[in-house]
A and B are shown apart, each in its own frame.
Chain A
Amino acid sequence: AQSVTQPDIHITVSEGASLELRCNYSYGATPYLFWYVQSPGQGLQLLLKYFSGDTLVQGIKGFEAEFKRSQSSFNLRKPSVHWSDAAEYFCAVGAKTGGYQKVTFGTGTKLQVIP
């Protein structure tokens, strides 16, 4: 079974600083990888996804993530954080199971942005 580890429960960065959120996954085959963002009272929004091809994936809101098979990682990055990026971020891994995609989420990283 697949699993996801997000080692950082809470991260604080200054507005304008760069950001990297860590994600490690466990899965026996090539995974489908996702990053979602959840703001208070809002549903989960997909930031980006990796299925195959280029290991550097561009997403919405200026985010990118890099798939590193050798490290079983899919870290999320943003060069300059905005106050509106404060939210909770979830990494997820999907596996084709019985003809559909079963997604397993990490426990999340809560991002605080200070002025």
Chain B
Amino acid sequence: GAGVSQTPSNKVTEKGKYVELRCDPISGHTALYWYRQSLGQGPEFLIYFQGTGAADDSGLPNDRFFAVRPEGSVSTLKIQRTERGDSAVYLCASSLYGTSGDNEQFFGPGTRLTVL
């Protein structure tokens, strides 16, 4: 497909479990972003990748959250020891270049994570 895809679309897990959320950006996009959208809120920045490296991970809430992008394309957001407060929609976005001021971020449909 031509857009950003995210899998799974829904994930239900139990408190304390480990989860992985996957993002496939638009082909050729070097910049990739993860956001978290809690109920009734706007998306909140988590982490930004330029290529393979995490250029800004200042939005990750704590060390249970980690993200990788080993080949500069697909990214995985990993959450250890999940808590009920982690329940949210996790959005991924990509853009063609990260350093230009006017680059549009294209968003995926999100993964809805529910922690029971």
Chain A residues with a Cβ under 8 A of chain B = 4, 32, 36, 41-46, 49, 51, 90, 92, 94, 96-108
Query: Min CB distance, B40 to chain A, in Å?
Result: 7
Q: Which of B40, B55, B102, B108 contacts A107 (CB 8 A)?
A: B40
Chain A neighbourhood of B43, CB < 8 A: 44, 90, 105
B48 located at the interface, meaning its Cβ lies under 8 Å from any Cβ of chain A in the complex: yes
Q: Are B42 and A101 in contact (CB under 8 A)?
A: no
- Of B41, B50, B91, B104, the residue contacting A100 (CB under 8 A) is B50
Give the residues in chain B near A98, CB-CB below 8 Å. 55-56
Number of chain B residues close to chain A: CB under 8 A: 29
The answer to whether A43 touches B109, judged by C-beta atoms less than 8 angstroms apart, is yes
Total residue contacts A-B, CB cutoff 8 A: 66
B113 contacts across to A, CB distance below 8 A: none
- The answer to whether B48 touches A102 (Cβ under 8 A) is yes
CB proximity of B93 to chain A, nearest CB, Å: 8
Q: From DSSP, what is the main secondary structure of chain A's interface residues?
A: strand
CA distance A92 to B93 in the complex (A): 14
Look across to chain A and name the residue whose beta carbon is closest to the beta carbon of B6: A43
A6's nearest neighbour on chain B, judged by CB, is: B42
Report Cα–Cα, A7/B62, bound state, in Å.
30
Of all chain A residues, which has the CB nearest B104?
A46
Residue of B nearest to A9 (CB): B40
Cβ contacts under 8 Å, A51 to chain B: 101-102
Q: Are B42 and A106 touching (Cβ within 8 A)?
A: yes
- CB-based contact B56/A100 at 8 Å: yes
User: Closest CB of chain B to A41's CB: distance in Å?
Assistant: 7
Complex A-B, nearest 5 residue pairs according to Cβ-Cβ distance, in ascending order = A105-B42, A100-B98, A44-B107, A43-B107, A43-B109
* A106 to B, closest residue via Cβ: B42
When the two chains form their complex, are residues A107 and B41 in contact, meaning their CB atoms are under 8 A apart? yes
Tell yes or no: B80 within 8 A of A by CB. Answer: no
